[in-house]
Amino acid sequence: GAVVSQHPSRVICKSGTSVKIECRSLDFQATTMFWYRQFPKKSLMLMATSNEGSKATYEQGVEKDKFLINHASLTLSTLTVTSAHPEDSSFYICSASPFDISYNEQFFGPGTRLTVL
């Protein structure tokens, strides 16, 4: 149980285009989903927290107009990188927290490798 998927696993795009990454909780409902970014040989950094049906909360320094997050259902959150540039190239990882609020745990997706040319 507690499986989170991401699609696509890898994407290459041209500079200036937009890219959408999907994060799905496959066998549970997630009231909260998180988006992280991981630079090469670096730690994961929390970008934003999204709650189903409400606006995402972005961490300081993360451009909300560049990284659009939508959490339209209890099993799906999307991250859209708008007008992507080479500096947006990174490994993006989502996680989802179950609706059961008896404990705090997140389940991570396998990640999406974005390369902007």
Partner 1 sequence: AQSVTQPDIHITVSEGASLELRCNYSYGATPYLFWYVQSPGQGLQLLLKYFSGDTLVQGIKGFEAEFKRSQSSFNLRKPSVHWSDAAEYFCAVGGASGGGADGLTFGKGTHLIIQP
Closest CB to partner 1 among residues 16, 53:
53
Closest CB to partner 1 among residues 66, 113:
113
Q: Are 47 and 58 in contact (CB under 8 A)?
A: yes
Site residues, partner 1 (CB under 8 A)? 31-32, 34, 36, 42-46, 49, 59, 93, 95, 97, 101, 103-111, 113
Q: Could you give the dihedral angle defined by the CA atoms of residues 77, 67, 12 and 72, in that order, rounded to the nearest 10 degrees?
A: 20
Closest CB to partner 1 among residues 15, 55:
55
